[in-house]
Chains A and B, each alone.
Chain A
Amino acid sequence: MVPQELVTLFIISSFFAAIVFFIVYYIWSQSKNNRALKAKILDLSSHGNKTVASLWKVNKAILSSLDSGDISHKVVNVVLNELDYLKIGYRISVLTLIDRKKKVIKRISFSPTSEALEILKKAKVEFHAIEIPLSAKQNLLVKAVEHKKEYITHDMSDLFYPEKTREVWRQLQLQVGIKTSLVYPLVIKDKSIGAMIFSLTKDEQDINDYEKSILSGFTDAVAVALEHANLYQKLDEANKSLKDLDKRKDEFISVAAHELRAPLTAVKGYLSMIFDGDGGKVPKQIDEYLHGALEGAEREIRLVNNMLNVSRIEENRLIYQMGKIKLIDVVKQAFDEFVISAKEKGLDFGLEIEENIKDLVYVDKDRIYEVITNLISNALKYSDKGSIMVSLSNPSHNLIKFTITDTGRGMTKEEQQKLFAKFYRANSSAGTVMGTGLGLYITKLLIEKFDGTIGVESELGRGSIFWFKLPISQ
Chain B
Amino acid sequence: MDHKPRIIIVEDDTLLSKMYSTKFVAEGFDVLAALDGEMVLQFLHDKPTPDFIIMDMMMPKLSGVQVLEQIRNTPELAKIPVLILSNLQDPAQIHKAKELGIVEYLIKANYTPSQIAGFVKNYLAKR
Contact = CB atoms under 8 A, between A and B. Distances in A.
Interface of A: 254-255, 257-258, 261-266, 268-270, 272-273, 276, 278, 301, 304-305, 308, 317-319
B114 A268 contact: no
Contact of A273 (B16, B91, B110, B114): B114
Contacts of B46: none
Given A266-B15, A278-B26, 19 more contacts: A254-B88, A254-B90, A258-B86, A262-B13, A262-B15, A266-B13, A268-B112, A269-B16, A269-B19, A269-B23, A269-B112, A270-B19, A272-B112, A272-B113, A273-B114, A278-B22, A278-B23, A304-B109, A319-B91
The main secondary structure of chain A at its interface with chain B is helix
Residue among B23, B26, B91, B108 with max Cβ neighbours from chain A (10 Å)? B108
B87 interface: yes
Contact of B113 (A255, A261, A269, A305): A269
A301 B112 CA distance: 13
Contacts of B87: 257-258, 261-262, 265
Contacts, number: 62
Nearest to B94: A319
Contact of B110 (A254, A266, A301): A301
Interface of B: 13, 15-16, 19-20, 22-23, 26, 58, 86-91, 107-110, 112-114
A258 B114 CA distance: 21
Nearest to B17: A266
Nearest to B110: A301
Given A254-B90, A258-B87, A265-B87, A276 B19 contact: no
Nearest to B108: A265
A268 B58 CA distance: 20
A261 B26 contact: no
The main secondary structure of chain B at its interface with chain A is helix
A261 B108 CA distance: 8
B23 A257 contact: no
A273 B88 contact: no
22 contacts: A254-B88, A255-B58, A257-B89, A258-B58, A261-B109, A262-B15, A262-B108, A263-B15, A265-B108, A265-B109, A266-B13, A266-B16, A269-B19, A269-B20, A276-B114, A278-B22, A278-B23, A278-B26, A278-B114, A301-B110, A304-B109, A319-B91
A268 B109 contact: yes
A308 B89 contact: yes
B26 A262 contact: no
Contacts of A305: 109
B97 to A, nearest CB: 14
Nearest to A251: B90
Contacts of A268: 109, 112
Contacts of A261: 87, 107-109
A474 to B, nearest CB: 29
Nearest to A260: B87
A308 B15 CA distance: 24
